[in-house]
Structures are given as structure tokens and as C-alpha cells.
């Protein structure tokens, strides 16, 4: 069986460090590993519209932002098809058929959807499209026969929902769809990076993000204002690592060589943590170090983005080509699905013949 990746992001804003460690960085590594036969990266505008129906311009404008973030992080259109969800009508058609295989109560049990409904104050008036977006995600994944979906931990219930739909479809209509696997970062922190305010998840909707396209000054300002240990008032006080965002980020981003380069007082993160807990290490020093570590990762991304921004039509052209490749793949799957469901009337010579014979009798 071919190894195929499908993953993506909602164009509701520029991409941030959470996307980067949760999924984007891994995608680039997998792309360059050469171990995958096909890679599809989707800008999920149709999904973004499910909770932004009144603000299509926001989605429209952010498509190019996400595309620039992708390319500047190293996604390569020669190896990965970058495409826009709404341009592949086959996905909507698949969703329509999968809807018959899922119950309302099953959707209501999805913990991610539950949390998102709460976050958006949708409790009393959930748009139907939003409520059913896990089904549309199943279409996105299965349309490309994806075996692997690199995502953050919040997406696990979605992948489980997709797997259930695949099993149900295959048991009712015969083996047709491929059951995907989620690929979650090994480092637990990376699978759900907290926000700069210490809240559980860095998220566009919460406004607690460091964006990949932030300037050097913006990143520095955000790092210097980051949530640490509120009880650590004087440098000499012992500090706590519990919920301390600066150390959580260091866990996600820093490697031993960063110490030699930017903070030779310590050999590794453990030594720095020990000193912080003993007392005598101030937040400002740790934040300056974190800023240097982040810059190490962000500076090359920023430089590539500046280059790409000079030729925006070329970026749209990449997306257009990606859509052509994605559509070719999705339409093959849709044809298989319709054949399995026996709604391929005109392609089925046998059907037409057998109906003729029935009327001849
Ligand atoms: P929105 O608030 O519009 O939902 P978001 O910031 O949650 O935006 P998504 O587009 O929903 O971002 O997520 C895209 C991908 O990035 C998913 O695979 C998701 O798991 C991952 N991701 C998002 N935020 C984080 C985070 N803080 N840590 C790790 N992974 C994340
Ligand atoms: Mg989200």
C-alpha cells in the first residue's frame, strides 16, 4: 500500500509556533525523508467558514498568509501538493454521503468539538456546518487515501471519527476506503504548546500566539512578557517550573548546543532548571536565552518569507497547480465511493442491460 500524507490548517490567521511544533515541522521532515509516495497539504478554507460564515474576507486574506508560512518553513511544491479545500468539490460530495453513517449523538460526544463550541459561545446556536465538520474532515482524509495524518493532539478525536466512518463505509459497501493513522509529536509539549499567557493551548482564537512571521522585535516583546512563576519575585527566590511557560517552551525548542552558543553558564536545560529552582536565576536571563533559541529557528523562516513575498502571483500559481493535483486524486476516490454505493448508474453497463432484460420479460 502507498504511504500518503494529508494534513492542513484553517486559514483563520497566520501560523504560529503551536502549528510549527505540533505539525508543520514534522511535515517538512516527513516530506524530505522521501518515505512517502504522496503528500497533500490542505488550506482548510471551507472548514474555516463553518465558524466564520459572516467574515469571508478574513479567510480570503489568510489563504496567502498560510501558503507563505508553508513555503517559508520548507514545504516544497515539487514534493507536496499544496491546495485549497473549497476548490475540490468532490470533498463536499463525499461529506454528503458520509453524513448518513454518523449519528448526531456521536458528533455530540466529540471532546474537541465540545471544547470549541464552548470557546465560540455556540452552546445555544451551533451552525450545522460547524457541528458536522468532523465528517468533512473524514472526507478530506479519505479522499486522498491518506495513511498518515501529522497533527497536534487536539485532532485525535477527529482522526478517530474518520476511522469509524471508514470502517462503517467498508462494512456496508465493501472495502473501499483507507483507515488513516494520526501522527502526534513524540514530545508531549509539542503536541499541545501552551500560549504565551500560560493558557493550555496556543491558538489564533485565544490571541496568545507567537507567529512564524512576527518580526524579531515582536517575538522579543512577546517572550519578555511571557507568563512565568508569579511567586518568583526576586532573583534570589526559588522558582517553580510548574506551568512556567518559558521553561515549557525551552523543553519544546532548546537543544544542548544552544547552551554552548547562547548561555555557556550551563551545559544543558537540566542545569538551568536546577539553578532556577534553587534560586539565584532571574526570569530575564532565562527569557533572553529563550528568545535566542527561538530566533535560531525563526530567523531563516522569516528570511525565506521575505523572498517569497516579492512574488505573490507565483505563490497563487503553486496553489492552483496543487488544486489540480488534489482534484485528480479526490475524483478517483469519489468514483470508487459511488461505485461501491451503487450510484454510478451511467458507468454501469451491466445495470442498464439488466434493467432492459427485466422490462423485456
Ligand atoms: P483556530 O483557533 O482557528 O482553530 P488553531 O490555532 O487551533 O486555529 P488549527 O488550524 O485549528 O489552529 O490547527 C492546525 C494544526 O495545528 C492542527 O494539526 C493542530 O493540532 C495543530 N495545532 C494548533 N495549535 C497547536 C498547539 N498549540 N500545539 C500543537 N499543535 C497545535
Ligand atoms: Mg483549531
- What is the rounded CA–CA span in Å between residue 223 and residue 281? 17
- pLDDT tens digits, the chain, 361 residues: what are they? 999 999 999 999 999 999 999 899 999 999 999 999 999 999 999 999 999 999 999 999 999 999 999 999 999 999 999 999 999 999 999 999 999 999 999 999 999 999 888 888 887 889 999 999 999 999 999 999 999 999 988 899 999 999 999 999 999 999 999 999 999 988 888 889 999 999 888 988 788 999 999 999 999 999 999 999 999 989 999 999 999 999 999 999 999 999 999 999 999 999 999 999 999 999 999 999 999 999 999 999 999 999 999 999 999 999 999 999 999 999 999 999 999 999 999 988 899 999 999 999 8
Test site for ligand 1: of 7, 10, 50, 187, most ligand atoms within 8 A of the Cβ: 10
Residue 331 and residue 144: Cα distance in Å, rounded? 9
How far does residue 359's CA lie from ligand 2's centre (Å)?
A: 55
Closest ligand, as measured to the CA of 43 = 1
Contact in structure between 68 and 144 (CB atoms under 8 Å): no
Work out which ligand 1 atom sits closest to the CA atom of 154.
Answer: 20
10 Å CB burial of residue 352 (0-12, 13-18, 19+) is exposed
Ligand 2 geometric centre to CA of 188 (Å): 18
What does the pLDDT look like over 265-280, one tens digit per residue? 999 999 999 999 999 9
With the most atoms of ligand 1 within 8 angstroms of its CB, the residue from 18, 47, 194 to mutate is 18
**Domains detected in the chain:** 4-192+313-356 (3.40.50.620), 216-308 (1.10.240.10)
Q: Which of 154, 198, 206 to mutate to test ligand 1, by most ligand atoms within 8 A of the CB atom?
A: 154
Report CA(342)–ligand 2 centroid distance (Å).
36
**What is the pLDDT, as a whole number, of residue 272?**
97
Alpha helices, DSSP H, located in the chain: 17-19, 25-33, 45-49, 56-73, 89-98, 104-108, 111-119, 128-131, 133-143, 156-173, 188-191, 216-224, 245-253, 256-262, 269-278, 283-308, 312-340, 349-360
- Alpha carbon of 203 to ligand 2 centroid (Å): 7
CB 254 within 8 A of CB 245: no
For atom 25 of ligand 1, the residue with the nearest CA is 18
Q: Which three cell numbers stand for residue 335?
A: 468514483
The pairing of beta strand 181-183 with beta strand 4-9: unpaired
Q: Which of 335, 328, 337, 6 is nearest to 146 (CA)?
A: 6
Burial zone of 296 (CB within 10 Å; 0-12 exposed, 13-18 middle, 19+ buried): middle
Q: What is the 8-class DSSP label of residue 194?
A: P
List the grid coordinates of 219: 517575538
Amino acid at each position: 500500500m502507498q504511504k500518503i500524507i494529508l494534513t492542513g490548517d484553517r486559514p483563520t490567521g497566520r501560523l504560529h509556533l503551536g502549528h510549527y511544533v505540533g505539525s508543520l515541522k514534522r511535515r517538512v521532515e516527513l516530506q524530505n525523508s522521501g518515505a512517502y509516495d504522496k503528500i497533500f497539504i490542505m488550506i482548510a478554507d471551507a472548514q474555516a467558514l463553518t465558524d466564520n460564515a459572516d467574515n469571508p474576507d478574513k479567510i480570503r486574506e489568510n489563504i496567502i498568509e498560510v501558503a507563505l508560512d508553508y513555503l517559508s518553513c520548507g514545504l516544497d511544491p515539487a514534493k507536496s501538493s499544496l491546495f485549497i479545500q473549497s476548490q475540490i468539490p468532490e470533498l463536499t460530495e463525499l461529506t454528503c454521503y458520509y453524513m448518513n453513517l454518523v449519528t448526531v449523538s456521536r458528533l455530540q460526544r466529540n471532546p474537541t468539538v465540545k471544547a470549541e463550541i464552548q470557546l465560540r459561545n455556540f452552546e445555544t446556536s451551533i451552525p450545522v456546518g460547524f457541528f458536522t465538520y468532523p465528517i468533512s474532515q473524514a472526507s478530506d482524509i479519505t479522499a486522498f487515501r491518506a495513511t498518515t495524518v501529522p497533527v497536534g493532539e487536539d485532532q485525535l478525536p477527529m482522526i478517530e471519527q474518520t476511522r469509524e466512518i471508514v470502517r462503517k463505509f467498508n462494512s456496508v459497501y465493501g472495502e473501499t476506503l483507507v483507515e488513516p493513522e494520526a501522527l502526534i509529536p513524540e514530545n508531549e509539549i509539542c503536541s499541545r504548546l501552551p500560549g504565551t499567557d500560560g493558557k493550555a493551548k496556543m491558538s489564533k482564537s485565544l490571541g496568545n500566539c507567537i507567529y512564524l512571521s512576527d518580526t524579531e522585535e515582536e517575538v522579543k516583546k512577546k517572550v519578555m512578557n511571557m507568563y512565568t512563576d508569579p511567586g518568583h519575585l526576586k532573583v534570589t527566590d526559588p522558582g517553580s517550573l510548574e506551568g512556567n511557560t518559558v521553561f515549557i517552551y525551552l523543553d519544546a525548542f532548546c537543544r544542548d548546543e544552544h547552551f554552548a552558543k547562547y548561555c555557556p553558564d550551563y551545559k544543558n536545560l537540566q542545569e538551568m532548571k536546577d539553578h532556577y529552582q534553587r534560586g539565584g536565576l532571574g526570569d530575564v536571563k532565562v527569557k533572553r536565552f529563550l528568545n535566542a533559541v527561538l530566533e535560531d529557528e525563526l530567523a531563516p523562516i522569516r528570511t525565506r518569507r521575505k523572498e517569497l513575498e516579492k512574488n505573490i502571483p507565483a505563490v497563487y500559481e503553486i496553489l492552483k497547480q496543487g488544486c489540480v493535483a488534489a482534484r485528480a486524486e479526490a475524483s478517483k476516490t469519489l468514483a470508487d465511493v459511488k461505485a461501491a454505493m451503487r450510484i454510478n448508474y451511467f458507468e454501469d453497463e451491466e445495470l442498464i442491460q439488466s434493467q432492459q432484460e427485466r422490462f423485456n420479460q
